[in-house]
Amino acid sequence: MTEENKLSLTLKNELSEIPRIAEAITSYGRSNHWPSVWISNANLVLDELITNTVSYGHIDKLEEAIQIDLINEGDQLVIIMEDNGVEFNPFEEVIEPDLDSDIGDRLIGGLGVYFVKILTCEHSYERVDNSNRIRLVLGIDEE
């Protein structure tokens, strides 16, 4: 795989890293002619997942790195995010949001992971060597 097909990013366990990562994805994606939907959806889903990882996944608040790879596979963008925080599968352990009740009656939480699910055509989680690994796939038709 050539370098123009893959962007690898390492970030600290800090929320202040999100704008830097978003800028890197936007710049790289534009220069490599990625569909705009990939760029915007990648930034949206990673903002949510990074926020959750930094806020809840690292109890000791050490600066462990979060690794993100974005790989252009033709008509799909594969995103792999790994961190060594607390074991947590957001796709099974986060409650589905109640979208039917009045907003004042809804429980807090779950909406961000819901957006991750609807913005991706595939999403999965696995625990590998004491690390969380999330794999997301964006398709071109995800507009």
Cβ atoms of 27 and 9 closer than 8 Å: no
DSSP 3: G
In the sheet that 6-11 helps form, which strands lie side by side, from edge to edge? 6-11, 66-72, 76-83, 131-139, 122-128
Cβ atoms of 39 and 22 closer than 8 Å: no
Cβ atoms of 79 and 50 closer than 8 Å: no
| pLDDT computed for residue 75 by the predictor | 92
Query: Residue 11's domain is classified under what CATH number?
Result: 3.30.565.10
Q: What pLDDT digit, counting tens, does each position of 101-114 carry?
A: 455 544 444 557 88
| pLDDT computed for residue 41 by the predictor | 95
Cβ atoms of 134 and 45 closer than 8 Å: no
By residue range, what is the domain housing residue 27?
A: 3-139
Task: Provide the domain count of the chain.
Answer: 1
Higher pLDDT, 116 or 97: 116
Count of CB atoms within 10 A of residue 92's CB?
A: 8
Confidence label for 10 from pLDDT (cuts 50, 70 and 90): very high
Q: What is the mean pLDDT of residues 94-100?
A: 52
pLDDT over 90 at 125, yes or no = yes
Confidence label for 94 from pLDDT (cuts 50, 70 and 90): low
